């Protein structure tokens, strides 16, 4: 049986809540700290040079840009996965959740159905002679 790391929250819920709150703060901070890691490694190791002195070739800069782009993609996926595991689900703040819209549409459709059934009960069906 697979158990989540949250399974231990039953024993100490207040400790687990504070741990989750701390992790929800630390995950974005860690992601921001890791954004500059490729640049730090490249410039500290001397693979690329900035300034008036020795100029780096264009191929090195392109390689650095491609590696940095891949790094950002991996970092974004990792941040989304971590936030998903922590229960932080992103949604736009300028709209209501989709569940509410769906529920409202279904309720309106149900009410229209009931109104149609009531109208059908009140009005007798047209006879065969009255039909075109």
Q: Give the Cα separation of 115 and 101 in Å (integer).
A: 21
Residue 84 and residue 96 in contact, taking contact as beta carbons nearer than 8 Å: no
Within 10 angstroms of residue 19's Cβ, the number of other Cβ atoms is 14
pLDDT along the chain (132 residues), means of 10: 52 77 90 93 88 77 94 93 84 66 89 92 73 62
Q: What is the pLDDT of residue 128?
A: 60
Residue 106 and residue 98 in contact, taking contact as beta carbons nearer than 8 Å: no
Q: Give the Cα separation of 78 and 39 in Å (integer).
A: 19
Q: What is the pLDDT of residue 33?
A: 92
Residue 39 and residue 68 in contact, taking contact as beta carbons nearer than 8 Å: yes
């Amino acid at each position: 049986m697979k158990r989540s790391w949250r399974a231990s929250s039953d024993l100490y819920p207040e400790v687990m809540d504070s741990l989750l709150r701390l992790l929800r703060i630390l995950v974005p901070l860690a992601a921001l700290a890791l954004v500059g890691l490729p640049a730090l490694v490249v410039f500290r190791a001397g693979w690329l040079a900035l300034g008036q002195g020795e100029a780096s070739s264009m191929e090195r800069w392109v390689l650095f840009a491609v590696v940095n782009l891949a790094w950002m993609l991996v970092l974004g996926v990792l941040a989304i996965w971590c936030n998903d595991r922590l229960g932080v689900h992103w949604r736009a703040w300028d709209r209501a959740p989709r569940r509410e819209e769906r529920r409202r549409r279904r309720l309106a459709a149900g009410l229209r159905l009931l109104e149609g059934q009531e109208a059908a009960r009140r009005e007798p069906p047209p006879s065969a002679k009255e039909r075109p």
